Amino acid sequence: MLKKKTPFTRFLIWRYKHISKKNFIYILSILVGLVAGLSSVALKNITHYIAMFFEQGAVHDYHVYWYFIFPFIGLLLVLLVKKYILRKDVGHGIPMALFAISQKNGKMDRRNLISSLLTAPLTVGFGGSVGLEGPSVATGASFGSNIARMFHMNAQSRKLLLVCAAAGSLSAIFKAPIAAILFAIEVFSLDLTFASLLPLLMASVAAVVTRMFFIGEQYIVDFHAIQKFDIQNILFYTVLGVITALVSIYFSKIYFTTENYFRKIKNDYLKIVIAGFVIGLLTFLVPPLYGEGFTFMNQLIAQDYHHAFDAFLFKESLGNSWVVIFLILGLILLKPIATSVTLSGGGVGGVFAPVLFLGAVTGSFFVNLSRQLGFTLSSENFTMVGMAGLMAGVLQAPMTAIFLIAEITGGYQLFIPLMITVTISFLISKANSDYNIYTKELKDRNALLTHDKDQAVLTLLKLDTIIETNFISLKPDMTLKEMLHQAVVKSKRNLFPVLNDEKELVGVLTLDDIREIMFNTELQETMLVEFLMHDPPDYIHYGKDSMQQVMNRFQNTGAWNLPVIKDGKYVGFVSKSKMLTAYRRKLINY
């Protein structure tokens, strides 16, 4: 009896008959853009209501005194949600999406649809010094991936919709559709073709329109008096590029050092106690470190220092310009620590907002210091360009930095200084390190996709798919006669691994090694395999060697077959011919 088709199955059949794959991707890209926009709005509003409860709600009168405890409570709630509701860890949004593209054919866990919505507002709302763009990307990308899986799209379409959703999330959260598209190209290494451009454009526009419908047209940072570019200030923008590069390197060093420290702590509760104490202490002493910090950024841009530093211990000394300079310098030094501890201590959030914050205070620091030295510079201009310089240095995405800052500030007339500062910051940062915060872990795991086609294809190749195991193994104490009868006559291969009792590879033997003596009856009884075997030209270490390293080993040794070792044990062989065949097929698909 034939099974009755479900309505969804009938819809799929109708879709295959009446809607082309290209048009269906356009439809889905608009859908994922709408959902990405909604998720961004939801994240913003949930976080806003939590923060408002502290700022204006029941605990308002005790807010300053509770700075110590709020971050700890937030991290504890996040940990409980992970353990007892989600029952899984919540990865950082953008690296998680990048890993899904490079190693999982664009597949993301369905739980990622809600994991960031539950944990990010708790982190940021309770004072975690991070942003919401990473969690927004994780939510949108997960929807893009799973909607593609639901409609049985292939791997390439799945990856495209995942990136469309990620771009839509950034477009919505920053109201910057052009920068979101450039981000997809620079960070997600998406090739900009007509086939990918239209879905990206549709998703970004759908997301930003959704955001404008619910939130309105206001920018997240308020620039009113941006001045036109003055050629006489070109040297100052150049110096600012160098300064933002140095601050970017400092941010990255602090981030990776903190991450390595917390990774050694195995007890999750001890981790949040340490992180909660550090963040609580920092936010108590330096209140602008609390949460995303956009209110403080706008006050700093307007040079409203009395409101910006109202909660500081030294607010009565704000009439002294040097006090303001040292307070801003303190923010530059402490913000990377607060952000790194929040994320490494178990919080869920993104680094976009902290980078923008750090760029704003760096630009303000440069303006105030220059004034003390006798130079009058535009606070809004240099604060805005400083934000772009930090983005270019920390995220190593220069085009995204230029257009994002131009879009969220409306400062399109400053393209020239933006390009000057961004280029210098990017080049210095790139010279210091060829990876950024998003890509370091993936690079360490040999899972990073880049615009280098050869490297990208090798990254997409899986070693498991090209390992061959149809080899008959030998033992070192076997005689030549035993080898001939037990292995040579039964094998279709001319290569034989020699294993000891612990299944460890101790050598290899080929038919060419025994061709001249294999029919010598006297030697058949006395000659042992251990006297005939030899070491392989090189080894492939499973789980440690990248496909690029495997390819290099074939090129360096000139071998046609190399053994694969996993945890010291023999697994099989990889042949150059099979690897090249798999490479060609993957290149065609890619």
pLDDT one-digit tens code per residue, 317-366: 555 677 778 888 889 999 999 999 999 988 888 888 899 999 999 998 99
Considering only 65-79, 335-349, 437-451, which range has the smallest mean pLDDT?
A: 437-451
Contact (CB, 8 A) for 322 and 354? no
Residue 145 and residue 93: Cα distance in Å, rounded? Answer: 13
Question: Pick the residue with more confidence: 363 or 231?
Answer: 363
Residue 489 and residue 486: Cα distance in Å, rounded? Answer: 7
Polymer length of the chain: 590
| Residue 172 domain-assigned (yes or no) | yes
| Residue 1 domain-assigned (yes or no) | no
CATH number where 272 lies: 1.10.3080.10
Nearby residues of 52 by Cβ (< 8 Å), 6 or more positions away: none
Query: How does residue 251 score in pLDDT terms, banded at 50, 70 and 90?
Result: very high
**Residue ranges making up the domain that contains 328:** 231-451
Residue 191 pLDDT: 66
Considering only 145-154, 275-284, 376-385, 456-465, which range has the smallest mean pLDDT?
A: 456-465
Q: Does residue 183 sit in the same domain as residue 52?
A: yes
Pairing status of strand 495-499 against strand 467-468: unpaired
Question: Pick the residue with more confidence: 242 or 229?
Answer: 242
Over residues 30-53, the pLDDT tens digits come to 999 999 888 888 888 888 888 777
Of 444, 459, 452, nearest to 103 by C-alpha is: 459
Number of domains in the chain: 3
Number of alpha helices (DSSP H) and beta strands (DSSP E) in the chain: 26, 6
Half-sphere exposure of residue 15, counting CA atoms within 13 Å on the CB side? 16
Contact (CB, 8 A) for 142 and 112? yes
Considering only 101-110, 405-414, 454-463, which range has the smallest mean pLDDT?
A: 454-463
| Residue 2 domain-assigned (yes or no) | no
Residue 58 pLDDT: 47
Q: Does residue 208 sit in the same domain as residue 302?
A: no
Phi/psi at 507 (5° precision) = 170, 180
Phi-psi region of 267 (alpha: psi -120 to 50; beta: other; left: phi over 0): beta
User: Helix (H, G, I), strand (E, B), or coil: what is residue 357?
Assistant: helix
| Residue 432 domain-assigned (yes or no) | yes
Contact (CB, 8 A) for 116 and 347? no
Q: How many CB atoms lie within 10 A of CB 418?
A: 27
Q: Does residue 301 sit in the same domain as residue 445?
A: yes
Query: How does residue 441 score in pLDDT terms, banded at 50, 70 and 90?
Result: low
Q: Does residue 425 sit in the same domain as residue 519?
A: no
Average predicted confidence (pLDDT) for the chain? 82
Of 310, 321, 286, 304, nearest to 222 by C-alpha is: 304
Final residue of a structural domain among 386, 416, 451: 451
Residue 577 pLDDT: 81
Residue 454 and residue 342: Cα distance in Å, rounded? Answer: 37
Final residue of a structural domain among 388, 419, 451: 451
| Residue 114 domain-assigned (yes or no) | yes
Q: Does residue 390 sit in the same domain as residue 476?
A: no
Pairing status of strand 569-575 against strand 467-468: antiparallel
Residue 339 pLDDT: 92
Residue 194 pLDDT: 67
Q: Which of the 8 DSSP states describes residue 578?
A: H
Query: How does residue 426 score in pLDDT terms, banded at 50, 70 and 90?
Result: very high
| Residue 440 domain-assigned (yes or no) | yes
Final residue of a structural domain among 157, 184, 215: 215
User: Helix (H, G, I), strand (E, B), or coil: what is residue 544?
Assistant: coil
Edge to edge, the sheet with strand 569-575 lists 467-468, 569-575, 561-566, 540-541
| Residue 165 domain-assigned (yes or no) | yes
